[in-house]
Amino acid sequence: MLYTKEMTPPSSPFHYCPACGLKGIEFLRQKEFRCAACGFRYFHSVATAVGALLMHDGKALFIERALEPSKGKLGLAGGFVDPGERAEEALAREVREEVGGEVGVPELLTSFPNQYSFRTAWYHTCDFYFRADLLTPPDRLISDPKEVASLVWLEPRDVNPDDLAFSSLQAFWRFLLSSGRLE
Ligand SMILES: [Zn+2]
């Protein structure tokens, strides 16, 4: 599956070949740039991202996003996997950076594709969702104000998937509610 209903294939973010500077670089199958003038080829590969389902007393931890995209909407602690990093390490790092907490060994639940826009650039991502124990007491969490406007604890069944940031997170929440993984 390349695109879900709500995911419209975006147009190319590049107009000039980054190797030779000529105009007219082709964008093929949403993933490959080709320059007919100099033969340059570049793959716009899918980026790996992670999201953390952190539960405490039956409630899930959300972050109110302080930054675009989806500023003001609810997301999970998480982010992009860095070069050379394992997905599990990225999850622990992002939770530490965004909410100041430590996590136990994460369990992979599922994954969904997403498109992530940042200013005029965009990325295809595959978002991996993990459940992990939060080892830090909730009242000791310290969120990063640059990325997080507030921390929000919600009963999973009270969350309307449509209110969540990103189509992949909405799909994850529907998966979670129908999977029995919350029982
Ligand atoms: Zn070129």
The rounded Å distance from CA 22 to ligand 1 centre is: 6
Handedness of CA 126, 91, 13, 6 (dihedral sign): positive
Conformation bin of residue 70: beta by default, left when phi > 0, alpha when psi is -120 to 50: left
Digit-coded pLDDT (tens) for 103-157? 999 999 999 999 888 887 888 999 999 999 999 999 999 999 998 999 999 999 9
Quote the ligand 1 centre to 2 CA distance (angstroms): 27
Identify the pLDDT of residue 3: 47
At residue 2, the pLDDT reads: 46
pLDDT for 1 equals 41
Query: In this predicted structure, what is the pLDDT of residue 7?
Result: 53
Summarised one tens digit per residue, pLDDT across range 64-101 is 988 888 889 999 999 999 999 999 999 999 999 999 99
Yes or no: domain 47-179 corresponds to CATH 3.90.1150.10: no
Q: Is the peptide bond before 145 cis (omega within 30 degrees of 0)?
A: no
Domain ranges of the chain: 15-44, 47-179
Q: Read off the pTM.
A: 0.88
Find how far residue 139's CA is from the centre of its chain.
Answer: 25
What percent helix, strand, coil does the chain show, rounded to 5?
A: 20, 40, 45
Kindly provide the residue ranges of all beta strands, DSSP E only, lying in 6-135, ordered along the sequence. 26-28, 32-34, 41-43, 47-56, 59-65, 74-75, 77-80, 107-118, 121-133
Q: How far apart are CA 166 and CA 73, in angstroms?
A: 9
Tally Cβ neighbours within 10 Å of residue 151: 18
Q: Minimal CA–CA distance to 124: which of 111, 134, 135?
A: 111
What is the CA(29)–ligand 1 centre distance, in A?
19
Residue 88 alpha carbon to ligand 1 centre in Å: 38
Q: At residue 32, what are phi and psi to the nearest 5 degrees?
A: -135, 130
From the CA of 31, how far away is ligand 1's center (Å)? 17
pLDDT at position 67, please?
A: 86
Q: Please write the tens of the pLDDT for every residue from 1-23.
A: 444 444 556 777 788 999 999 99
**Predicted local confidence at residue 182, as pLDDT:** 73
Q: Is 4 helix (H, G, I), strand (E, B) or coil?
A: coil
